[in-house]
Amino acid sequence: MKQNNYQGALQQPLQSGFSATSTASQVIRGINLSGKTAIVTGGNAGIGLETVKTLAAAGAAVIVPARDIDKARKHLGDIPNVTLEAVDFMQPASIDAFAEKFLASGQPLHILVNNAGIMWVPLRRDSRGIESQLATNYLGQFHLTARLWPALKKAQGARVINVSSFGHQMAPFHFEDPNFTERAYETLQGYGQSKTASNLFAVELDNRGKTFGVRAYSLHPGSINGTELGREANVEMFHQMGMCDAEGNIYPEVAAKLKTIPQGAATTVWCATSPLLNQIGGVYCENADIAELDHGQINHQYDDPATIRGVREYSLDETNAKRLWNWSEEVTGISFHIS
């Protein structure tokens, strides 16, 4: 019996009964989260907000770390069971302060959704010199999960969900120059390696954490209409992909194929709650199911979101996963020992 997902050993769709059109409320139907605690980063907008609403409606107490509390409060309104906390994921000390406060409460953490992310931004670096997409999309996940590990273990049955992307196919992790200090900055490469790192982290965390009842997953939410994720992206990139005209207007035939926000949050919620995953972890998911391993047999066309699927083996590679874990400990200064 295969015990981990290194090299995509477990990347076989389960025939979950859901699809690209399934919504977050549909995949959680019949599941009661009363007595459970969840943390959802980036939970004040887009699919993160939909995830928060869905988990809270199912009975979970949901904590939303947000950089701009006032903005988050406007978006979240008065949703029952939701608490806001100030956190800036570009500032390591801010992550530490949030985690310390949560651990001091003595609560177990049943669901951690690492949803916060940015996409296709100009070159920026955090206080450590880490490229911003890598810092936000991956190192923030690693840092927060490591600090919250005691609470995850205390739950005696927890799940960590990394919101990754098909964008991992744009680049493997560049161990020699992850922060573009020696090579020219390409935002697509930066985004791609950050999402590859998110996948590698999930497969390694699951392998190390399952003994303690902590399972981990990564996922592609889909091509979604109406989020703020691409707000800084160059319109020309979307135009070259055949998704919009030169002015940035999405072609109607493409827009008709994009997911709604409730559909975009479905895979996150499915990974966080589906009984089908009780005995399996470390997998990369999409469309509320485990994704197919992509060996190059899938014809990807950006103007047809249905073809934007599959996971590359390099983002599930055992050697890469262990090497990334060690690199992450070194860069963050955190010894993330699973025990």
The residues that are catalytic are 191
Token reading at 315: 């983002």
> Locate tokens 């199912």: which residue?
58
Strand partners, 39: 63, 112
Token reading at 181: 């200090």
Q: Is the dihedral of CA 126, 168, 63, 140 positive or negative?
A: negative
In this structure, the strands spanning 284-286 and 289-290 are antiparallel
Q: Please, what is the end-to-end C-alpha distance for the chain in angstroms?
A: 24
Token reading at 292: 């197919």
| One-letter amino acid for residue 213 of the chain | G
In this structure, the strands spanning 111-114 and 214-220 are unpaired
Closest CA to 31 of 61, 59, 12: 59
3-state DSSP call for residue 169? helix
The answer to whether the beta carbons of residues 98 and 88 sit under 8 Å apart is no
Under DSSP, the state recorded for 158 is: E
Exposed / middle / buried, residue 327 (Cβ in 10 Å: 0-12, 13-18, 19+): middle
| One-letter amino acid for residue 203 of the chain | V
Closest CA to 117 of 173, 42, 221, 169: 42
Under DSSP, the state recorded for 162 is: E
Length of the chain measured in residues: 339
